[in-house]
Structures are given as C-alpha cells and as structure tokens.
Amino acid sequence: MRLPPLNAVRTFEVAARLESFAMAGAELGVTSAAVSQQIRHLEDFFGKKLFVRNGNRLALTDAGLAMYPQTAKALEELAAMTLRTLEGELRTRLIVSVPFSLAEGWLAPKLATLLASHPQWSVDVRVEDDPVDIARHAIDLRVSYGEYHYPACQASPLFHDEVLPLCSPGFWHQHGNPEFDLGALHDSQFIHTQWGAQFASHPTWGDWFAAQRAARAPDPAAGRRSGLSSLAITLAALGLGVALGQRALAAQAIRDGRLLLLAQAPLKLGHGYCAFIPRGKLGRGDVQRLLQVLQG
C-alpha cells in the first residue's frame, strides 16, 4: 500500500482550509517556511502543483481542489478512529460546537430535552466562532450560520431564523405609544446588532423600516450596540431599548412575558443555520439522535 507522507497531508489540509501558509504555520506550531517545505514534499510525491499565488492570495489549483475534500474527510475519520480507540466504544460522549449567540437561548434547552431521555450521556459543549478545526478537536457536530462551511462534512439544515422588533413591557410603557409606532422613537432607544466585518447579509433597522415603507434609518452611533445577537435580546429584556431580536433566541422570553413583540413584521436572516457532521460519524446513533433533537 503506497501512502503519501501523512505529515505533509495534514499540513496541506490546514493550509488549504486557511488559504495561508502563515496561518497554517501558526495553527500547527511551525514556521510558514516549514509549511511551504511540506507542501513541496507533497507536490513532489504526486507530481502536481497544489497551490498557486493569485496576487496576495493563496489559491488551490485544480489538483488541490480535487484533493482537499477527500483529504479533510480522511483526516476526520482518522481522528474519530483515534478517539474511539483511546476513549473506548462503550463511553458515549458528544462533542458539540456552537456559535456564541446560540449557546444559551437555543442550544441549552435542546440539550435539556436530549439528556432527559439519555441522562447517562456525557456532552461537551464548545462555544466558538467559525472556522473550527472539526477533525483536530474531534467535534461530533458543529452548528454554523450558512451552508458554505466545512465542505468535507455533511450539512443538515436546522432552521432559518428571522428578526422582529422586541423590547421589555416596562420600556414600552415608559417610552412607547398606543399606536406601537416605532418611527416615533428617538435614535438612542434602538439596539443594533454589530454582526462583524465578515457578514453582510443580516437585516438592520434601516432594512426593517424600509420593508415597512417608512423613511427611517436609526443611527447606530446614537443607539446601543451589541456584538452578539443574543446579547441584544438580553439588553432589550433589561429595558435598555428596542432590538431586532432573533425569534429562535427570544421565543422563551416572549412566552414568559419578559419581552414584548411590537410588530408581526419579521425579516429573514440572509442564511439558515446548519449542522455539520463529519462523514465518519454519520453512523453513530447518539449523533443522529442529537441531530433529530436540534431539528425538532
């Protein structure tokens, strides 16, 4: 059986995922020159060029693009086999990775449902932003926004959320009006979610007013700003303003009466949320049961 140099294969997977020799070196704990040397070693083995420079950007060649998904899958399966061997097949331990905003308001109640039926299961929750090294950290299921992450994994749709105007009953009693006219509020009373530079498809207060055919665009600099959608909902529940809150994250607070739904005029997020499962773990019953609960 002829195999390529495994250390070079691992280096290729990281460099292809991060599109940078320098970033790959930082993750692997080596220099970018060492990464480049490993890539040359692999290119010599296959007799094919795997990367090409496109300006300041590192891009995969056709050969590299063909190799990457299979390489990532093989490494994930190897990591899963290693974990099973080291920890034992009889021990059920789920490692779930989730973005910060979904951890408490959405994932925690789902896990409570799962563990009520399977109290003996051990669950390890990792709260982290994309990208996540699923293979290296032996993650069983990753929840992410959008379907474009982790091509080596199977993507299963979970839900496509929407945002609605929300505030606490006390805030509206003090600052609102009988007509529920949000356009009458001062700019300082709006809570804005700052999604970050890598996101451009999330609805803003300007988008919401435009959908209502209202000439209003509250100035984020004059209001409250939050770097997490879940925190924006918490600020609204504390009476600090009106937020465009995600329905999935605010559902329990709305049912409890801690949040007031000001208008039945939702805006869809740009993408849905998906669960990503390494293909080597698709046959595990505990992973499939977790997926069912998350989709329920």
% of the chain surpassing 90 pLDDT: 67
pLDDT above 90: residue 200: no
Where do we find the tokens 């979970």? 158
CB 247 within 8 A of CB 163: yes
CA distances from 76 to 111, 121, 159, 255, 265 (A): 24, 22, 26, 41, 43
Q: How confident is the model at residue 157 (pLDDT cuts 50, 70, 90)?
A: very high
Rg, C-alpha atoms of the chain = 23
| 3-40 confidence digits (pLDDT tens) | 888 899 999 999 999 888 988 999 889 998 999 999 99
Q: How confident is the model at residue 89 (pLDDT cuts 50, 70, 90)?
A: very low
Q: Is 228 helix (H, G, I), strand (E, B) or coil?
A: coil
CA distances from 193 to 60, 105, 199, 258 (A): 35, 16, 12, 20
Q: How confident is the model at residue 81 (pLDDT cuts 50, 70, 90)?
A: confident
Q: Hey, what domains does the chain have and what are their CATH numbers?
A: 6-68 (1.10.10.10), 92-157+272-295 (3.40.190.10), 162-268 (3.40.190.10)
pLDDT above 90: residue 113: yes
